[in-house]
Structures are given as C-alpha cells and as structure tokens.
Chain A
Amino acid sequence: METDPYQLIEGMTIAGLAVGANQGYIYLRSEYPVAHKILNKAIERATEAGFLGKNICNSNSDFFLEVRLGAGAYICGEETSLLESLEGKRGMVRAKPPLPAIEGLFGKPTVVNNVLTLGAAASILEQGSETYKDFGMGRSRGTLAVQLAGNVKRGGVIELAFGVTLREVVEDFGGGTYSGRPIRAIQMGGPLGAFLPASQWDTPLDYEAFAAIKAMIGHGGIVVFDDTVDMAAQARFAMEFCAVESCGKCTPCRIGATRGVEVIDRIVNNQDRDNNLILLTDLCDTMELGSLCAMGGMTPFPVRSALTYFAEDFSGESPREN
C-alpha cells in the first residue's frame, strides 16, 4: 500500500469487475497515516487516468474506490466487524451465516479479502493461473508476502513461494537476531499466532503443515524473539491484547480474556498453581471452541504454545518484566 498502491488498486478493480461490484472500499487502520496519504493520492491519480471511476478504460464498467479509515479497533480486521465499521457502526462481530458474500455491506453481497490476496490478482491475471499455481507446495499454492519483523537483523517484506521453512526465512533472509543473541521463539501469523520453539522452525510455510502443529501462517507476519524474552509475559500479553481489543460481544472473549490475564498472573505467582494451570487450559478450550470469531478463538494459540513449549517461564522463577 505504501510502495506500490497501484497493485492493490488494480487487484481490487479486477475483483470488482469479476463480481460485478462498482464500489470498493479499502478499510485502512488509522495507525497507518503514511499509507493513508499514499493510497488517497494513488486513487486520485488512477481516477484521473481513467483507471477508476465511471467507464473505466472505456470498458462501460464503473468502479469507484474509497479509503475508509478505521479508528483504533483491531477487531475491525475481522470481516464482519469490518463491515459493521464501514457501515458507520460499532465494530461488533456479526454471527455467520449469512456470509458476507450473501449479505454483506449495507445488506448487499460483498467480497471481503485481504490486501495480499487482492495484491496478487493482477500478476495472476497477467501471468496466468498456472504460473501462479506452480509456486508453492501441497494445497498451499502461489506466493506469500512474508513480513519479517521483530528482533531480526534484516526485516521487511519478502514475497516467497509457499514451502520454504521458517528457519530459512529467519536465518537466510533475516540474518538472525538484531541483538545478535540466539533466537528463542518465533511468532507466526500475527498477535493470535502461536509461538514456535526451535524444534518447529523447520516446518515449511504451508497452511496444512502449520495447522498440524497447531500454529498458523495467518497474514504471514513473523516476529522473532531473542533469548531475553519472557514467554509467560508474552502469553499474558496475548490475553491482555484480546481483552483490550475484544469487541465484547461473546462471553468467552469478553470475560475470558480478562480472566486469562488474572489466571496467568496467579500461575506465575505460584498461587494454587496446579489448579490454575488446569483452569487456564479449560479457559483456552472455552475460548477456542466457544468464541464467536477468530479473535477469541485464536487468542489461546499464543497462550497454549507458550505454555507448552516454554513452560519454564511460567514457573514464577524466571525474571519477568511488568
């Protein structure tokens, strides 16, 4: 969006033409003021050049594109919450069905995709689906724009075919940690992604392979932590983040996340430790199986993985911040 906004604009236009939509919205987080300026400018230029608006490229088709700014709500990345927000409402998650493709924005059928998908559309059309399909492995075809971040020497976005291992990405592309200390954990797929220990770094970037280890590729974000990380604090943060960003509609997420923070605190403080560990597992089950959307449903991923692979950090003996 910041360096090649036209790729997204083109992708959305293609998608719009494909489904017969004549209005597209880019729902952009307000935390990205730079992207906001660039996208607006790009849309303005594309419209002036006849690539957007009425009768685009003399095709007798119209496609209008508008950037709508979020207002500080992570949950609005969830597709139904995003639609509510675009409608000018509280970003509360909708129960599905109906799926947005049937009844979406303003009650109309709506395609909701992420930037990566729409960004890939133009090159797929240009080079043919076969070419795109040739990349990747198993059922995960094509490429993934990996965002390498955190404590890493060379961070940034790398577009790779599925199948490369996490270790290759972090070590070969990233060059190890920024701090120069050993890597201890890698979080893959955003704040709701699992923390992976060294034993799992050889997992290839493939949806099925990640699902098999109860992790996810998600949006392709990779965050590297060195050996100073306190994984109990990270687990606690996952719950805390969920508590801060939950829309509050469903009970497992609304109350569960807050209780999660409290239970983890009791565990690390050695209060009735064994029972609280059981309770935390129960809570993770409840959130995972009972939540209305992925926010509450996936918050247990980082928590459980930290608890499983970095249990020593929950002993209450490791030095913790906060």
Chain B
Amino acid sequence: MDKSANIDELVEQFKTLPGGLIPLLHAVKHAVGYIPNESVPQIAIGFNLSRAEVHGVISFYHDFNTSPVGQHTVQICRAEACQSMGSRQIEAHAKKSLGIEYGETTKDGRVTLQPVYCLGNCACSPSMRIDDDIYARVSPASFDQLISELYVPAAGNAGEKR
C-alpha cells in the first residue's frame, strides 16, 4: 500500500468536514495502523494548519500512536469498577504472560498491550478489549484463552463476549 497516496485521499475526504482533523486521524490510524510522522506535513497542508498544530493534536490523544503497533491491541481496564473486581491481578497476569509492559508489543508483533480507563462495561467487571471486541468478567484463565485464540487463524470467540 502506498501510504502517502492513501493518506492524501483521506485528507481530501475529511478536510472540509468541520473539526475534521480527529475523524481524519482515526481514519489514518484505521488505514495504516498508526499516524506516521511523515504524514503530518501533508495533513497540515490539507487542513491549513501548521505541522506543530497537527503534532499537538496527535500527541494529546492516547489513541493516536505514531509508530506501528501489533496486529492486535489488547486493552485492560484500569478504572475503579474493574479494580473492585480484581483488574490489578489481570494487569499483572497480562504483563507477565505476554512478557511486555503497557505500551509495548510482543516480539512477534502480534499483541500490543495498553491500559484503558473504562470500557463502559462496569457492571460486568473486569473488562478488556481486543481490537473492537469487549470482553467481560475476565480472569487470568480467560485472558490466556483469548490471547491464544489470536494465534489461531480465523479464531472463534470464546469467553464471555458481551
């Protein structure tokens, strides 16, 4: 994929949308997997902003990573409801079993682990998110199960998906 050409198309698509920078950045992230620093100048030109401004926006939001992440993003909820149901243990387990800290990606490039503050699933804590799927009542065992499925092609969904 020619990233820059693709980003140009997206810039064209979003530049006239009022406040369209954040929707664009989501779209770029969706298309490329991250917001390449090299794309900032073309985004800035499209939106009639300075490079600094675009950089400021990207760096403000946790969602907008500027380097590639793993094939799958796993987010563990750290908010209070999940804490009350043992999310700290899940966190510790996840870091240990994947062998990475928050913000890191497994060596095989499969999984990036991130903290998240509330997935809106507080009644069924603790929760985690894998890509666009939310999982409830996560335990160390179900975590391992879900991760192992990421390594199976076309995995079905186990666990208590909401």
Q: Which A positions have Cβ atoms within 8 angstroms of B?
A: 29-35, 68-74, 85-92, 105-106, 147-152, 155-157, 178, 187, 191, 221, 223-226, 229, 234, 237, 241, 244-245, 247, 321-322
What chain A residues lie within 8 Å of B117 (beta carbons)? Answer: 31, 74, 191, 241, 244-245
Q: Is the CB of B80 within 8 A of A234?
A: yes
Q: Which B positions have Cβ atoms within 8 angstroms of A?
A: 18-23, 25-26, 47, 53, 56-57, 60-64, 75, 78-81, 83-85, 88, 116-120, 122-125, 129, 132-134, 162
Q: Is the CB of A155 within 8 A of B22?
A: no
Q: Is the CB of B122 within 8 A of A149?
A: yes
Q: Is the CB of A223 within 8 A of B61?
A: no
- Distance in angstroms from A261 CB to nearest chain B CB is 14
Which of A88, A229, A237 counts the most B-chain CB atoms under 10 A from its CB?
A88
A71-B61, A88-B57 known; A223 vs B80 contact (CB < 8 Å):
yes
The CA-CA distance from A303 to B15 in the complex, in Å, is: 44
What chain A residues lie within 8 Å of B57 (beta carbons)? Answer: 88-90
The CA-CA distance from A88 to B56 in the complex, in Å, is: 11
Q: How many A-B residue pairs have CB under 8 A?
A: 117
A33-B132, A191-B79 known; A147 vs B122 contact (CB < 8 Å):
yes
A34-B134, A149-B122, A150-B125 known; A91 vs B84 contact (CB < 8 Å):
no
The CA-CA distance from A71 to B28 in the complex, in Å, is: 13
Which of B18, B83, B119, B125 counts the most A-chain CB atoms under 10 A from its CB?
B83
| Residue ID in chain B nearest A74 by CB atoms | B117
What chain A residues lie within 8 Å of B133 (beta carbons)? Answer: 33
- Distance in angstroms from B98 CB to nearest chain A CB is 19
Q: Is the CB of B88 within 8 A of A88?
A: no
Q: Is the CB of A71 within 8 A of B26?
A: yes
What chain B residues lie within 8 Å of A191 (beta carbons)? Answer: 79-80, 117
The CA-CA distance from A223 to B78 in the complex, in Å, is: 13
A90-B56, A150-B85, A223-B122 known; A30 vs B80 contact (CB < 8 Å):
no
Q: Is the CB of B23 within 8 A of A69?
A: yes
A223-B84, A226-B84 known; A88 vs B20 contact (CB < 8 Å):
yes
